[in-house]
């Protein structure tokens, strides 16, 4: 549904998503943050912002935090 509504990127902390969904034929890029702790994520926002600008359609990126 996200693709149908024009979304280009999904940012999630769901580390199981890759194994639960068939992402191979998707145009939607997926970024998985490998932590759910906001204090830790907040320290990496600049890196995450840069990755958002670099990730392309259909790509899957895990951000180690």
- Quote the pTM value: 0.83
What pLDDT score was predicted for residue 16?
A: 83
What is the chain's length?
65
**At a CB cut-off of 8 Å and minimum separation 6, what does 44 contact?**
63, 65
Residue with tokens 């907040």: 42
Per-residue pLDDT of the chain (65 residues; tens, 9 = 90+): 888 899 999 999 999 877 777 777 778 999 999 999 999 999 999 999 999 999 998 899 999 98
Q: Where are the domains of the chain?
A: 9-63
């Amino acid at each position: 549904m996200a693709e149908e509504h024009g979304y280009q990127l999904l940012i999630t902390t769901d580390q199981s998503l890759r194994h639960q969904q068939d992402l191979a034929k998707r145009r939607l890029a997926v970024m998985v943050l490998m932590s759910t702790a906001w204090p830790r994520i907040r320290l990496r926002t600049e890196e995450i912002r840069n990755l958002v600008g670099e990730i392309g359609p259909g790509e899957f990126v895990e951000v180690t935090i």
